């Protein structure tokens, strides 16, 4: 047996207002006149947050379109644009939700690794460290701030650049930055964290490391979405730590059925990660009975609508595409259902599940 020896984030700063320390944090990372590039979710165009980014010299803010999840073509185009314009850069700072943070990680790696980001989709294919990279979440739940992957949709698959060079060198966890998130978005992304916890805690890969973080993250999610009647300032603090702990939990275990199925939706239909997981979780009583019951309670209590009928009218070929993408996520299925998962989750059974969504 070989134990996972995983690379973690380099530095972490946490606290309300810690974003104001960014200038000081970046200072030692600046190289001659090579600029820092801030990849910022387009949601913040013209916002006070954008105005507080500590620009120096030739630094640039690039607002990134996160209407769809990051694509390898988008990563390659951004890296090329930066190389053409600046030659060398000092670093890439991702500010936003999971998509903006994943884009920052991927662009950092593609500043130093040749070819296309599609060449590195998989496990441990990245050969060179990227340029300095920092992640600053403005939505809590994805765990992208701590993960060793950056999930990208490529020409043939949706898969991360999973490597020891992928984690951020620095993360800035400032709960103040999440206060203006739209309620729906906040819920879907928060549920991504809740689902990480359920999938990790109910999975066959569980160990005490994952359990310790998973239980804490689950408790924080429950305080925010089950116990409280209203969102308050403290909810931002709690959910930010839930996201971090949930990410740490799956770092040493794995996600499960909701993620494996939602990857198929996202590949074919472009369904975003948080909402896609919610659409799937809504129908997973058979696998996570207690978690799904509580999930449905949170949906109702928080007045959220989960879309239904999204697979209506799809062709056999389209169902097959989703099934192929989903069944390709072998470690997720093995964690969820055990080593004989292929006998349990047949193509027919998965098709029936997709038809319900």
CB closer to Zn ion, 112 vs 185: 185
Q: Among residues 190, 176, 182, which one has the least CA distance to residue 222? A: 190
CB closer to Zn ion, 69 vs 192: 192
CB closer to Zn ion, 170 vs 249: 249
Instruction: Tell me the residue number closest to Zn ion, measured at CB.
Output: 192
Helix, strand and coil content of the chain, in percent to the nearest 5, comes to 50, 10, 35
CB closer to Zn ion, 36 vs 195: 195
66/41 Cα distance (integer angstroms): 6
CB closer to Zn ion, 89 vs 220: 220
CB closer to Zn ion, 192 vs 236: 192
CB of 250 to Zn ion, least distance (A): 8
Q: In degrees rounded to 5, what are phi and psi of residue 40?
A: -120, 135
CB of 132 to Zn ion, least distance (A): 26
CB of 274 to Zn ion, least distance (A): 8
The contact pattern for Zn ion, residues 226-265, with x = CB under 5 A and - = no contact, is ----------------------------------------
CB of 89 to Zn ion, least distance (A): 29
CB closer to Zn ion, 192 vs 334: 192
The contact pattern for Zn ion, residues 187-226, with x = CB under 5 A and - = no contact, is -----x----------------------------------
CB-neighbour burial class of residue 29 (10 A; exposed 0-12, middle 13-18, buried 19+):
middle
Classify the phi-psi angles of 17: left when phi > 0, otherwise alpha if psi is within -120 to 50, otherwise beta: left
Q: How many helices and strands, by DSSP H and E, does the chain display? A: 14, 9
Per DSSP, the three-state class of 35 is: coil
CB of 264 to Zn ion, least distance (A): 14
Residues composing the chain: 357
Task: Give the CA distances from residue 346 to residues 83, 289, 326, 352, in Å, rounded to whole numbers and listed in that order.
Answer: 46, 20, 11, 10
Candidate ranges 70-78, 172-180, 185-193, 208-216; the one touching Zn ion (CB under 5 A): 185-193
Strands (E), 141-229: 151-153, 158-162, 170-173
Residue 145 in contact with Zn ion, rule: CB under 5 A: no
CB of 192 to Zn ion, least distance (A): 4
CB of 75 to Zn ion, least distance (A): 19
**DSSP for 316-345?**
HHHHHHHHHHHHT-HHHHHHHH-TTHHHHS
Residue 89 makes CB contacts below 8 A (sequence gap 6+) with 34, 35, 36, 37, 82, 111, 131
Residues that bind Zn ion (CB under 5 A): 192
């Amino acid at each position: 047996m070989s134990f996972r020896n995983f690379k973690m984030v380099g530095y972490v700063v946490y606290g309300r207002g810690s974003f104001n320390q960014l200038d000081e944090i970046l200072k030692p990372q600046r190289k001659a006149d090579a600029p820092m590039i801030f990849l910022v979710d387009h949601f913040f165009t013209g916002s006070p947050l954008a105005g507080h980014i500590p620009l120096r010299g030739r630094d640039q803010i690039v607002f990134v379109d996160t209407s769809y999840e990051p694509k390898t073509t988008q990563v390659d185009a951004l890296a090329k644009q930066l190389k053409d314009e600046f030659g060398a850069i000092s670093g890439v700072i991702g500010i936003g939700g999971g998509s903006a943070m994943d884009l920052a990680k991927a662009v950092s790696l593609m500043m130093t690794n040749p070819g296309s980001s599609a060449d590195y989709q998989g496990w441990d294919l990245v050969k060179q460290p990227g340029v300095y990279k920092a992640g600053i979440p403005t939505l809590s739940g994805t765990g992208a701030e701590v993960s060793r992957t950056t999930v990208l949709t490529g020409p043939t698959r949706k898969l991360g650049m999973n490597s020891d060079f992928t984690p951020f060198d620095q993360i800035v966890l400032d709960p103040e930055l999440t206060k203006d998130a739209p309620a729906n978005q906040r819920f879907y992304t928060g549920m991504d964290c809740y689902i990480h916890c359920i999938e990790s805690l109910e999975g066959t890969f569980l160990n005490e490391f994952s359990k310790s973080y998973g239980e804490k993250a689950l408790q924080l999610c429950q305080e925010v979405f089950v116990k409280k009647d209203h969102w308050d300032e403290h909810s931002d603090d709690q959910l930010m730590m839930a996201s971090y702990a949930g990410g740490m939990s799956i770092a040493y275990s794995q996600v499960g059925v909701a993620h494996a199925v939602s990857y198929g939706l996202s590949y074919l239909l472009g369904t975003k990660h948080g909402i896609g997981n919610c659409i799937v979780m809504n129908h997973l009583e058979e696998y996570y009975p207690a978690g799904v019951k509580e999930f449905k309670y949170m949906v109702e209590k928080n007045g959220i609508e989960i879309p239904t009928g999204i697979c209506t009218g799809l062709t056999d070929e389209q169902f097959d595409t989703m099934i192929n993408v989903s069944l390709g996520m072998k470690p997720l299925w093995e964690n969820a259902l055990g080593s004989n998962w292929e006998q349990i989750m047949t193509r027919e059974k998965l098709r029936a599940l997709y038809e319900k969504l």
